[in-house]
Chain A
Amino acid sequence: MTAAIETEKLTKYYGRSRGIIDIDLTVESGQIFGFLGPNGAGKSTTIRLLLDLIRPSSGHARVLGLDIHHDRLAIDRRVSYVPGELSLYSELTGGQLLTYLGNLHGSIDAIYRDKLIERVELDPTKRIKSLSRGNKQKVGLVAAFMIRPELIILDEPTAGLDPFVQLEFEHLCEETRSEGRTVFISSHQLPEVEHLCDRVGIIREGRLLAVESIADLKQRALRRLEIDFGGSVPAGAFVGLPGIRDMNVHDGILNCTVMGSVDALIKAAARYEVRNVRSIETSLEEIFMAYYGSGDGIAAAAGAGEASHVAA
Chain B
Amino acid sequence: MLLRNVFTKTIRDLRWPTFWVALGMGAMTGYFALLFPTYSKIMDMNALLEKMGPMAKIFGSSIGDASTLIGFLHFELFSMMLPAGMIAFAAGLASGFTAGEESRGTIDVLLSYPVPRRRLVLEKSLAILIACFVIAAATGLFAVVGAALSASELPVGPLSAALALVVLLSLAFGAIALAISAATGNRGAAIGVTVALMIAMYLIDALANIVDGLNTIRPLSLFKYYAGHDPLRYGMDLGDTAVLVSVTAVFLVIALVAFERRDLAA
User: In the assembled complex, how far is the CB of residue A11 from the closest CB belonging to chain B, in whole angstroms?
Assistant: 14
Contact with A along B43-83 (1 / 0, CB 8 A): 00000000000000000000000000000000000000000
| New A-B pairs, 9, CB < 8 Å, besides A53-B263, A77-B114, A104-B110 | A54-B263, A79-B112, A80-B112, A81-B108, A83-B109, A91-B13, A92-B3, A104-B113, A140-B109
Contact status of A53 and B111, CB under 8 A, knowing A85-B105, A100-B9: yes
Q: Once bound together, how far apart are the Cα atoms of A53 and B113, in whole Å?
A: 12
Q: From DSSP, what is the main secondary structure of chain A's interface residues?
A: mixed
Binding site for B on A (CB under 8 A): 14, 44, 48, 51-55, 72-73, 76-77, 79-81, 83, 85-89, 91-92, 96, 99-101, 103-106, 140, 143
Q: Does B41 contact A (CB under 8 A)?
A: no
User: In the assembled complex, how far is the CB of residue B100 from the closest CB belonging to chain A, in whole angstroms?
Assistant: 11
Contact present for A101 and B116 (CB under 8 Å)? no
Closest-by-CB residue of A relative to B104 is A87
Q: Which of B107, B109, B116, B266 contacts A86 (CB 8 A)?
A: B109
Give the total number of A-B pairs whose CB atoms are below 8 A apart: 72
Max count, chain A CB within 10 A of own CB: residue among B9, B111, B113? B113
User: In the assembled complex, how far is the CB of residue B4 from the closest CB belonging to chain A, in whole angstroms?
Assistant: 5
Contact present for B266 and A48 (CB under 8 Å)? yes
Q: Once bound together, how far apart are the Cα atoms of A230 and B150, in whole Å?
A: 115
Q: Does B115 contact A (CB under 8 A)?
A: yes
Contact status of A54 and B116, CB under 8 A, knowing A87-B106, A88-B109: no
Q: Once bound together, how far apart are the Cα atoms of A78 and B9, in whole Å?
A: 23
Q: Once bound together, how far apart are the Cα atoms of A14 and B262, in whole Å?
A: 12
Residues of B within 8 A of A79 (CB): 112
Q: Which of B104, B113, B263, B266 contacts A101 (CB 8 A)?
A: B113
User: In the assembled complex, how far is the CB of residue B137 from the closest CB belonging to chain A, in whole angstroms?
Assistant: 26
Contact present for A104 and B105 (CB under 8 Å)? no
Contact present for B109 and A76 (CB under 8 Å)? no
Contact with A along B96-135 (1 / 0, CB 8 A): 0000000011111111111110000000000000000000
Q: Once bound together, how far apart are the Cα atoms of A277 and B9, in whole Å?
A: 67
Contact present for A51 and B108 (CB under 8 Å)? yes
Q: Once bound together, how far apart are the Cα atoms of A81 and B9, in whole Å?
A: 21
User: In the assembled complex, how far is the CB of residue B96 from the closest CB belonging to chain A, in whole angstroms?
Assistant: 14
Residues of A within 8 A of B115 (CB): 76, 104
Q: Which of B3, B13, B112, B114 contacts A81 (CB 8 A)?
A: B112
Q: Once bound together, how far apart are the Cα atoms of A55 and B114, in whole Å?
A: 18
User: In the assembled complex, how far is the CB of residue B256 from the closest CB belonging to chain A, in whole angstroms?
Assistant: 15
Residues of B within 8 A of A44 (CB): 266
